Amino acid sequence: MERELEVKLLGLDIEKIENQLIEKGAKLIAKEYQKNTTINSTLHPIDNANKGYLRIRHTKDLLDDTECFYFTFKEQITNEGIRENLEHTIVFDNEDELLNILKCMDYNIYDTGFKNRVSYIYNNVRFDIDSWDKNTYPYPYIEIEVENKEDLATVLKEFNIDKSSVSTMSIADLKKSLKK
């Protein structure tokens, strides 16, 4: 189980922020192509807004040409000012069989999206630059993961990021916001 504190930065000049990270000496730690599938059930629904969600993530690491499958329950702790989650994750090697197990257990709602992710570490803060396929979410954003709220405030100030660009919405929430 891993505790995470994160926010998304929306509506920014992504290239400008990435260039600032590189100029400041941020370390490139990942370039990935991801297939993300969230899972739910009409018979045993998981309250995504308050409880969390199930996810299968298939990553292709473009730096070292490796692939990995992760099965996660992302348990939401709070969404006040910063998203705090506990990620319960296992690594597995047979996506089709896991999907068969879930279907046998009446998990019948699947939503799949694809994204490219470029990740940097700067002063113990992780910056994930995410670009989803157009059907999932058409606007790139930056996800920032910090160890504490003070680190978030420091990064926002250092990169001159207005708090109006900070969001605690999940990708599911962002998708819903497009339909309004």
Tell me the per-residue pLDDT of 16-34, one tens digit each, with 9 for 90 and over. 999 999 999 999 999 999 9
3-state SS assignment for residue 103: helix
Mean pLDDT across 128-142:
97
Mean pLDDT across 73-99:
95
Mean pLDDT across 127-139:
97
- Residue 121: which residues within 8 A CB-CB, separation 6 or more? 26, 27, 29, 127
3-state SS assignment for residue 52: strand
**26 and 111 Cβ atoms separated by less than 8 Å:** no
- Over residues 41-84, the pLDDT tens digits come to 999 999 987 899 999 999 999 999 999 999 999 999 998 889 99
List the domains of the chain with CATH numbers: 2-178 (2.40.320.10)
> Which band of pLDDT confidence, cut at 50, 70 and 90, is reported for residue 179?
confident
**pLDDT score recorded for residue 180:** 67
Indicate the average pLDDT of the chain: 96
Q: Distance between CA 162 and CA 148 in Å, rounded?
A: 19
DSSP symbols for 111-178: EEEEEEEEEEEETTEEEEEEEE-TTT--S-EEEEEESSHHHHHHHHHHTT--GGGEE---HHHHHHHH
Mean pLDDT across 149-166:
96
